[in-house]
Amino acid sequence: MTIGEYSQIYRGKRVVEFRMGATPAGGDVVYRLTQDYDSEESQRALLDDFLSKVDPAELETLIVGAWSEAHDEGPQGYIDALIEYRAKLPKLTALFFGDMTYEDCEISWITQTSYNPLLAAFPQLQSLRVRGSTSLELQAFSHDALEELAIECGGLPSQIVDAVAGSTLPALKHLELWLGSDNYGFDGGLAPYQNLLAKIGPERLRYLGLRDSEISDEVAVWLAQQPWLGSLQTLDLSLGTIGDVGAQALAESPNLGALERIDLSHHYISEEWQAKLRALPCQVVLDDPEEEDDGDRYVAVSE
């Protein structure tokens, strides 16, 4: 499975597209800047055009959608321009880079870039979501305001996980990482994630998503043993390959505490263990059951 739809709602607001030369829709919406595969304008030119038609001082959230030749070029033009504009964007607190479908560019082909300069330039940023991990660069950083960090990809390199583990993020509440497949860049095993959660202090998280993982059973077995698990509001292991081993660990965990929601959508769990999970005193989402293919399981999003 790949990503076939654009975001329609983002951070509670309707998403509308903005292309070069367009008139902004107006109203309480979130804009997604979009280019075609072979657009002639540069990323900088599209951002210039957009910011000349809205009030930059009131802009709170911005989505960067498909950019021209995303399989070969990252969103560096947007990042450089946003950094130049930062004094005129005092309320910009949420950014999403890469809201594109497989028809624009397969997730594993999306070329990314380094996000450290952007994070340093926007100390007020509360949410950063990035789609794609090819050429994605991130070094350990400190950021006092960042509440949400999400990286969607078909295979997450462990060096990115290590960078997050080494970061100082006192406001972080929502951590979402798509582990993906080792065919598309996942190289970590369980250890980097054990290290990550040991270092960031998971007790303060409200949401933990270790999604789209081909080691979902291992992840679930380990998480079920953690005394801090019940301090989460949501545990999201969706899009992965969890089966009865992980299901049993979660169903029998003594650490669920006040956990309100477990999302296991796209799973390989038997009816027997689905029933036991549904009996837990929290909401357990078990949408999209899958069947093994000659003993093999696959994550929902990879290529």
| Contact in structure between 46 and 35 (CB atoms under 8 Å) | yes
Q: Mean pLDDT over all residues of the chain?
A: 97
What DSSP character marks residue 289?
B
What pLDDT does residue 2 have? Answer: 77
Residue-wise pLDDT tens digits, 228-239: 999 999 999 999
Torsion angle defined by CA atoms of residues 139, 113, 97 and 36, in that order, rounded to the nearest 10 degrees: 180
Q: What is the pLDDT of residues 194-228, one digit of tens each?
A: 999 999 999 999 999 999 999 999 999 999 999 99
Task: Tell which residue, 248, 187, 174, 175, has the closest CA to residue 214.
Answer: 187
Cβ contact 279:158 at 8 Å: no
Let me know if 87 is exposed, middle or buried by CB neighbors in 10 A (0-12, 13-18, 19+): exposed
DSSP 82: H
* Structure confidence at residue 115 as a pLDDT band (50, 70, 90): very high
Query: pTM here?
Result: 0.96
pLDDT reported for residue 303: 84
For residue range 137-158, what is the model confidence (pLDDT) as tens digits?
A: 999 999 999 999 999 999 999 9
What residues form DSSP beta bridges with 142? Answer: 168
Per-residue confidence (pLDDT) for residue 81, from 0 to 100: 98
Of 201, 211, 206, 210, the residue nearest 230 (C-alpha): 206
DSSP-based three-state secondary structure for 208: strand
Q: How is domain 138-302 classified at the CATH fold level? A: 3.80.10
Q: Which amino acid is at 124?
A: Q
Please write the tens of the pLDDT for every residue from 5-62.
999 999 999 999 999 999 999 999 999 999 998 899 999 999 999 999 999 999 999 9
63 phi/psi in degrees, rounded to 5: -110, 130
- Residue 1, pLDDT above cutoff 70: no
> Which ranges of 232-291 would DSSP assign to H, the alpha helix?
244-251, 271-278
Share of the chain above pLDDT 90, in %: 97
Mean pLDDT of 100-128: 97
Spatial distance between the Cα atoms of 180 and 162, rounded to a whole number of angstroms: 16
DSSP, collapsed to helix, strand or coil, labels residue 136 as coil
Q: Which residues contact 223 (CB under 8 A, 6 or more apart)?
A: 210, 229, 235, 249, 250
pLDDT of residue 181 exceeding 90: yes
CA separation for the pair 23, 30 (Å, rounded): 14
Of all residues in the chain, what percent carry a pLDDT higher than 70? 100
DSSP label at 27? S
How far apart are alpha carbons 78 and 121 in whole angstroms? 13
Cα distances (Å, whole numbers) of residue 143 to 35, 84, 162, 168: 31, 19, 16, 6
Q: Can you tell me whether residue 207 is helix, strand or coil?
A: strand
- Calpha distance 217→241 (Å, rounded): 7
Residue-range domain boundaries for the chain = 1-108+125-131, 138-302
Tally Cβ neighbours within 10 Å of residue 249.
19
